[in-house]
Amino acid sequence: EIKFKIRLPKLNPLLILSLIVIVGILLRCICISYYPLWTDEVYTKTVALKNFISCCKDAGNPPLFFIFEYLITRIIGTSDIALRLLPLVFGVLIIPCAYFFFNKINSKIALFASFMVSINTILIYHSTEARGYTLSALLIILSIWSLFKYLKNQKPKSLFLYTLTLICSINHNYYLIL
């Protein structure tokens, strides 16, 4: 019986993470303009195009995502792609955040988690619509990461970061307080 030992070169985890992020970007960009805006996206566009005050007056939705959309429409325009760009950026940012969150456990687990986030069809879909679902996912990861960081080192800077992510979470979606 002959056994072959194949030795693969050891790759830098950050290089692999970069490739995973590129895959995530490509998967999210493929269909960003394939579908027209649907009802909720049209509502987002309506709120974002009015004025800054209209972003804060919606009783059913906290203002953070609408404020972000208001600002992005002032910078890059009001096309469908412009409205969907911010959720795409949030969706892509979830990938490295997942890596850095799980990297405390193990580098291989962190790479696997970030790869799974990059190919997750639900996250890909929500990254291509002008709604705040990817911002919710990003804020959840950041708040849990900052909580663990604070519990580990008990520094005021970590507590401030955790508090900031909680304030952003509550101002984005009332249910994230849970």
Q: How do residues 63-79 score in pLDDT, each as one tens digit?
A: 888 899 999 999 998 88
> Which residue type does 64 have?
L
Range of weakest confidence among 102-106, 122-126, 139-143: 102-106
Termini Cα distance of the chain: 59
What's the confidence (pLDDT) of residue 170? Answer: 87
Could you count the other beta carbons within 10 Å of the beta carbon of residue 53? 9
What's the confidence (pLDDT) of residue 13? Answer: 87
> Which H or E element spans position 89?
helix 80-102
CA-derived radius of gyration, the chain: 19
CB 139, CB 164: distance < 8 Å: no
Confidence of residue 60 (pLDDT cuts 50, 70, 90): confident
% of the chain beyond a pLDDT of 90: 52
Question: H-type helices in 13-79, by residue range?
Answer: 13-29, 39-49, 52-57, 64-76
Residue with tokens 């895959």: 23
CA distances from 60 to 11, 22, 66, 134 (A): 48, 36, 12, 18
What's the confidence (pLDDT) of residue 160? Answer: 94
C-alpha closest to that of 160 among 150, 173, 171: 150
Range of weakest confidence among 16-30, 120-134, 163-177: 163-177
Confidence of residue 106 (pLDDT cuts 50, 70, 90): confident
What's the confidence (pLDDT) of residue 17? Answer: 94
Q: Cα separation of 170 and 132, whole Å?
A: 13
Handedness of CA 136, 141, 147, 153 (dihedral sign): negative
Q: What is the pLDDT of residues 163-175, one digit of tens each?
A: 999 999 888 887 7
What's the confidence (pLDDT) of residue 9? Answer: 64
